[in-house]
Structure 1
């Protein structure tokens, strides 16, 4: 996940700067008043110095106002990203993504092969990158195929729910050449969330970035009994 400027951090820095500026400005005015009261009438303080100091204080205030504007623009941009992503809720999606949470003793992926393969193997990896299960792909023909993992290791042990796992596909032709493949997550979008300014979609047991989506379509509306589509 890419780090991004957040409105919370920007607002905190702006508030701190405004508090410091107010304190410094009050101190400046106190010192200015005292200096004017106690200056030597025969050798008054150079007015250009006062003008310079006032200009500096005005510049700081202007910078804080600019920061307020930038913070407002950032908040509007993030809100727009979330509201825009909310339009995807209820649609069916296909995303080039491999992270999936094991829930109810299963995790569901899809995998795509660019051409028919002579051999195709699947590996399920845990969050540390260790292979916990491996086996032949259920289908080696060109196209997109579904795969359901039952949460069991290659040795047969059952892994607990809650862990996040990824699927890896390795496919070869009869000439031992690599077949282009990718892991996919397919399903209905049920929610959206904002992480560091980037919208993420909830699809089944996976939370994936909007940028990983490669296809969207309207969810089919059930045909009423006795009616026509």
Structure 2
């Protein structure tokens, strides 16, 4: 007796899907709707005549295929949009290279006085500049003008001896009597040498050895 081997609907669909996607990837899934129709045809031809697939099942498969197809197209559009926005951002930042940026940042000391800008709180009766090293230890505290403004930090400790070269964090502490009103990082100006697009966002490389985020820039001006 001849025995005709039948293929279940799931197996037929699985085989058709493998043919449709192998070697072509997501783009084929989003564009080859005719492949899906051929898959349905093969599935119908190989179904068990004693247990045929319900028409509602075909409708479900069609809806699932359409949903996946739409999701793939959406992902492609979002990816393309992200690439375009990234390129646009970098194109705009190219104009920043060579300009002087002002931002709150640590100070790189190399033995020469470092110009900074101090910000103090209104109503303060005393202002102190507090200097901390890379370990967070306070290495200098000195009184500064209440009005704040431009200030040249000489890079010396409380004992008057020059501090070692390195990176220091400077902040202006405003006091009313013995009460601390605010602690504000100093502002520095530096020329932008390079703009880098990183996973954490766009970063700017400055001529003072610092690297900051683009959104940390307070102001820009043409370098003299």
**Which residue of the partner structure matches residue 194 of structure 2?**
191
Equivalent of 1:65 in 73, 87, 98 = 73
**Which residue of the partner structure matches residue 227 of structure 1?**
none
- CA drift of 1:172 comes to 3.3
**Which residue of the partner structure matches residue 213 of structure 1?**
217
Q: Aligned pair 1:145/2:153, yes or no?
A: no
Instruction: Give the whole-Å Cα distance in 2 for the aligned partners of 1:38 and 1:159.
Output: 82
Note if contact 2:130-2:172 (Cα within 8 Å) is conserved in structure 1: yes
* Larger relative contact order (CA 8 Å, sep ≥ 6): 1
Q: Deviations over 1:54-104 (max 9, x none)?
A: 321231122011111101111211222222122122222222x1334x464
Which structure is larger by alpha-carbon Rg, 1 or 2?
Answer: 2
RMSD (CA atoms): 3.8
Q: Secondary structure at the match of 1:44?
A: coil
Note if contact 1:81-1:198 (Cα within 8 Å) is conserved in structure 2: no
List runs of 5+ in structure 1 lacking aligned partners.
1-16, 221-229
Higher mean displacement: 193-202 or 61-70 = 193-202
Q: Secondary structure at the match of 2:96?
A: coil
Relative to the length of structure 2, the TM-score reads: 0.64
- CA drift of 1:39 comes to 2.7
Go from structure 1 to structure 2 and tell me whether the alpha carbon gap of 1:214 and 1:38 turns closer, same or farther (over 3 Å shift).
closer
Instruction: Give the whole-Å Cα distance in 2 for the aligned partners of 1:107 and 1:195.
Output: 32
Note if contact 2:111-2:162 (Cα within 8 Å) is conserved in structure 1: no
Relative to the length of structure 1, the TM-score reads: 0.63
Q: Any residues of structure 2 matched to 1:72-151 within 5 Å, and which?
A: 72-95=80-103, 97-100=104-107, 102=108, 104=110, 108=114, 109-113=116-120, 119-128=126-135, 130-137=136-143, 139-148=144-153, 150=155
Go from structure 1 to structure 2 and tell me whether the alpha carbon gap of 1:62 and 1:123 turns closer, same or farther (over 3 Å shift).
same
